[in-house]
Structure 1
């Protein structure tokens, strides 16, 4: 049963307020107030002097890998939202592998689920490890730079933040064991954002809620058994509506970082996991859900259940 061995994170200290985007995206004073008061989005993390490779290196360094763990890593999976995240010929994934003595590992990117690709990478890592030697490990990397307009801001929805997370995965383990995984792919949203945005917003809350409840049911549990939901940090209102639809208490969704970090691409799940563990929000034996949605050449609604 796939298990999370350790989670490393890095969130830069710099912040960009929503007001700084007003001129670039033609935001009115009313729209800015809606973002701050309604969506609870105030700022996003930014590291203008740190490259994507640098962000990923800092997250891996936070894992404090031992020599033995490094030698056991067979796969390195980089889960990313966008198909291209740096200009050619740079390759941050292989640069990170070289930095940490991981040239022996098979390294590749995982995408096509947009911001839900992090969950796909964890599940894929577990599948790969199931056929590897018992002590083998996989390393999942997440995090991107907000390097274009599309990668900085989603109109009426969210603003992206910069940061990174690294997750060490084993085929089995005593804690943070994966109990189930559900990914709902919606190909009808394969189109330009402005063409599909309205319908995507219409189905969003029901679709994400269905993914959560299906993952919980697949794990043989009910929502009453779920101690916490670790969300993607798109905005607070979206989670208010999802919780209302599925009948889950909003105060058991970890939304602390929405207003400060922004939506840190695929890294949200691991950043929130780190916070939940640090604040002792998860006790041994607690079951929790990690949920995410992604849009881009289709849409994905995903949820994964773990036992801490």
Structure 2
């Protein structure tokens, strides 16, 4: 099983660093030096998570006509759903011609897309589904306090979508590594129906993050999970043609590349233009690199992410999709 089609969408509204420098105690230089982010996209009034997801799927359909044929499972990774239920996956499915398909959301914060990919791969391989549509979609701008300098500058909105199905022998998914440690939960969380975590940590209405603790965790777990995924795939991190990491902080990505001995140029990065789009960040980056021709059939990819939970995930795969523009 592998990825047979990709699509992406980002809202048109661009929020540059100067926007925050105008009313928060920060500067463009400070934001760029700390995160690598220059701008991000925000959904406008009326644009919901499902709306972004639908646009990403339509982009996929435009580029790969017929890609949704046989899709009978829709998964959406999101921490900012339109509602607890109906699922955002079901709302998207109904608008892209997949009424009646099984549909569910996965909530694993920034690791969600990798978890959703693993579920899709397993269900298709088991025969429970023929093909799966996997979406990562977020409107993080609405769950982040725009008055909080520590979080507002980091997050943006967007969506990415892929189809998972049969691919030629010797290509496709090779391994998955998934994990979570709730002991790190107080370092990054978003309130649900309760007002506090089990350990008594109070939760306000917005996402809260201990940036220093998450940074230390991310640097370690990104490297550990990537190395384990490549080991299970029968290779080494040095065999990676393209590292597609969660787009949280350029310093984390730089640290991972240094650990692997990979030049930074072999990591797909776009957080300078989109910021941290949580579960949407990996499919957004993947779609961009496929679209511009960097990723080609036969290349070794490693997708890796981390997020609230604290959670992590990595996937090794030999790319089987068509070259950029095929089917468009």
TM-score by length of structure 2 reads 0.81
Query: More deviation in 47-56 or 261-270?
Result: 47-56
Shift of 1:278: 2.3
Check if 1:292 corresponds to 2:290.
no
1:140 paired to 2:134: yes
Judge which range, 175-184 or 51-60, deviates more.
Answer: 175-184
Give the match for residue 291 of structure 2.
Answer: 278
| Of 183, 186, 193, the match for 1:188 | 183
Question: How far, CA to CA, are the matches of 2:82 and 2:135 in structure 1?
Answer: 15
- In structure 2, what is the Cα distance between the partners aligned to 1:52 and 1:59? 11
Aligned-pair CA distance for 1:247: 2.4
What is residue 94 of structure 1 aligned with on the other side?
Answer: 90
What is the deviation of 1:264?
1.8
Q: Is the 8 A contact 1:184 1:301 kept in 2?
A: yes
Q: Distance in 2 between matches of 1:93 and 1:152?
A: 31
- Distance (whole Å) between structure 1 residues aligned to residue 239 and residue 152 of structure 2: 30
Partner residue, 2:12: 13
C-alpha distance 253-4 of structure 1, shift in aligned 2 (>3 A): same
Aligned in 2, Cα 1:188/1:284: closer, same or farther, shift over 3 Å? same
Task: Give 1:267's aligned residue.
Answer: 280
Deviations 1:278-298 (A, max 9, x none): 222223211011111112xx2
CA distance in 1 between partners of 2:43 and 2:143 (Å): 14
Q: Please report the RMSD computed on the Cα atoms of aligned residues, expressed in angstroms.
A: 2.8
Cα displacement (A) at 1:269: 1.4
* Alpha-carbon separation, structure 1, partners of 2:259 and 2:66: 46
Partner of 2:71: 73
- Tell whether the 8 Å contact from 2:145 to 2:151 is kept in structure 1 after alignment: no
> How many Å apart are 1:124 and its aligned residue?
0.3
In the TM superposition, what is the alpha-carbon distance from 1:144 to its structure 2 partner?
A: 1.2
SS in 2 for 1:280: coil
Q: Answer yes or no: is the 8 Å Cα contact 1:4–1:175 preserved in 2.
A: no
For residues 53 and 209 of structure 2, what CA distance do their matches in structure 1 show? 34
Matched residues, number: 297
What's the counterpart of residue 271 of structure 2? 258
What CA distance in whole angstroms lies between the structure 2 residues aligned with 1:121 and 1:154?
A: 31
Partner of 1:222: 236
Question: Which residue does the alignment assign to 1:44?
Answer: 40
Q: 1:263 and 1:175 mapped to 2: Cα distance?
A: 33
Corresponding residue number in structure 2 for 1:246: 260
In structure 2, what is the Cα distance between the partners aligned to 1:88 and 1:207? 30
- 1:159 is paired with a residue of what secondary structure? coil
For the residues of structure 2 that align with 1:195 and 1:142, how far apart are their CA atoms?
Answer: 21
Q: Could you say what secondary structure the match of 2:135 adopts?
A: strand
Asked whether the equivalents of residues 3 and 175 of structure 1 are also in contact (C-alpha less than 8 Å), the reply is: no
2: CA distance, partners of 1:150 / 1:205? 25
Q: Does 1:149 align with 2:144?
A: yes
1:55 equivalent to 2:52? Answer: yes
In 2: Cα distance, 1:269 partner to 1:120 partner: 12
- Between the aligned partners of 1:232 and 1:151, the Cα distance in structure 2 is 22
